[in-house]
């Protein structure tokens, strides 16, 4: 068992760190305040090969693995969660194309994503269907050679900036099993009937785009069906087994970034005539924080490595996401505490990290869902 990264993986991490430090650092606070990101950032990320590295070379990607993707996202989130999220989300849902898409769909949609020339998203959540995805009611009715989509999706990443969107739709409401009622369709956002309303006032990751989406008699051809009809729920679960692994990497990155900020602060800040770092209480806090980050990183790397070797499973992925999200929240809380009153103001980066952390316990499966998955896998049938 080897816990060391390969030379190539180390080089990828180093390059991602240099990119994030050079491109994020000076603009992060303004992007957070203004709830925006520069479009040039996506183009640069694509040109340098940081977007969709897990996409096969045949479709314009680097043909690497989820571990390499996680390493990049960790470095991005370490510098700024909001911009890190936006760079990560460019290809959000592309795994569904890789797993279930037709050859034509892969050739059409994946290359522009990998080059940073297109943005996609995955519309899943609805006003009355969050964790209970099987209750999604956005409908896609087959009429002739088309599907007609009607409904509303909420809190969708890239909803107002994407070029195309995967949509989790109710296609077969008459099916007895709730798991057999849905399908996944790809929707080009320039089609009549697509309307997006950008959301404002997010607590954290404010630089990234989030929108409510409305479908009104939107028509797509039958070939826009991804994979098999009525298999959407099963496809979605397999997607989550992948997306949750690199969301875990987001947690690792945020926690490491917060730890780095805390270390920098306690080494320079003086109280009672001494550096704060010299106090045993401070050293104990830093020790606990560093240990949690390293544990989260190890579990996350294991989850991604298993996926890359074809042995990924929902249990390890759920554990990685649950623990990394909790670690991010706990570590950044201690980091802000070590900053004292200074950390409470937005001229300190730790304040932005603090606001961003909580989403890691909510999206891509709330922490309660992860616990349910782990509990069922550990207990088995009874």
The distance of Cα 115 from the centroid of its chain, to the nearest Å, equals 19
Give the three-class secondary structure for 305.
helix
CB 138 within 8 A of CB 194: no
* 5: DSSP letter: P
* 192: DSSP letter: T
User: Measured between alpha carbons, how far is 19 from 22 in angstroms, rounded to an integer?
Assistant: 5
Beta strands, E only, 171-253: 182-188, 194-198, 210-221, 225-226
DSSP per residue over 119-146, as a string?
A: -EEEE--BTTBSS-GGG---EEEEETTE
Helices (H) and strands (E) in the chain, counts: 12, 10
Selected catalytic residue, list 330, 364, 368, 370: 364
In the chain, the largest separation of any two C-alpha atoms, in whole Å, equals 79
User: Measured between alpha carbons, how far is 202 from 208 in angstroms, rounded to an integer?
Assistant: 10
Phi, psi of 370 (to 5 degrees): -60, -40
The residues that bridge with 122 in the sheet, in sequence order, are 166
User: Measured between alpha carbons, how far is 116 from 55 in angstroms, rounded to an integer?
Assistant: 13
Give the three-class secondary structure for 3.
coil
Is 364 assigned a catalytic role? yes
Residues 87/93/363/85 CA torsion (nearest 10 deg): 0
User: Measured between alpha carbons, how far is 40 from 205 in angstroms, rounded to an integer?
Assistant: 18
* 199: DSSP letter: -
* 217: DSSP letter: E
User: Measured between alpha carbons, how far is 205 from 35 in angstroms, rounded to an integer?
Assistant: 9
Assigned token pair, 185: 């369709």
Active site amino acids: 364
């Amino acid at each position: 068992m080897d816990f060391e990264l390969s030379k190539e993986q180390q080089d990828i991490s180093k390059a991602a760190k240099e990119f994030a430090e050079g491109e994020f650092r000076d603009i992060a606070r303004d992007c957070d305040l203004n709830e925006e990101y520069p479009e040039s950032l996506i183009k640069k990320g694509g040109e340098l090969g940081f977007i969709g590295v897990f996409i096969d070379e045949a479709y314009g990607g680097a043909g690497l693995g989820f571990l390499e993707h996680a390493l990049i996202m960790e470095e991005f989130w370490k510098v700024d969660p909001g911009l890190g999220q936006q760079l990560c989300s460019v290809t959000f849902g592309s795994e569904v194309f890789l797993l279930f898409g037709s050859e034509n769909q892969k050739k059409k949609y994946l290359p522009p994503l990998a080059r940073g020339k297109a943005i996609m998203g995955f519309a899943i959540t609805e006003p009355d269907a969050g964790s209970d995805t099987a209750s999604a009611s956005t409908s896609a009715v087959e009429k002739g050679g088309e599907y007609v989509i009607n409904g509303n999706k909420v809190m969708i990443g890239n909803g107002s900036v994407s070029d195309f969107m995967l949509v989790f739709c109710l296609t077969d409401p008459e099916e007895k099993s709730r798991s057999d009622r849905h399908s996944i369709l790809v929707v080009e956002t320039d089609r009549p009937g697509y309307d997006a309303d950008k959301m404002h006032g997010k607590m954290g990751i404010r630089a990234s785009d989030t929108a409510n989406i409305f479908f009104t008699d939107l028509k797509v051809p039958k070939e826009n069906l991804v994979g098999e009809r009525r298999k959407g729920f099963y496809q979605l679960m397999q997607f989550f087994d992948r997306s949750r692994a690199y969301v875990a990497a987001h947690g690792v990155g945020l926690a490491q970034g917060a730890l780095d900020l805390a270390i920098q602060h306690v080494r320079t800040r003086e109280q009672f005539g001494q550096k704060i770092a010299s106090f045993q209480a401070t050293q104990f806090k830093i020790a606990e924080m560093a240990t949690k980050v390293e544990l989260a990183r190890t579990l996350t790397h294991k989850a991604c490595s298993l996926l890359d070797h074809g042995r990924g499973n929902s249990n390890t992925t759920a554990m990685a996401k649950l623990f990394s999200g909790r670690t991010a929240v706990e570590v950044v809380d201690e980091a802000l505490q070590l900053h004292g009153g200074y950390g409470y103001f937005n001229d300190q980066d730790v304040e932005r990290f603090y606001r961003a952390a909580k989403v890691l316990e909510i999206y891509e499966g709330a922490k309660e869902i992860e616990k349910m998955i782990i509990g069922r896998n550990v207990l088995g049938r009874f």
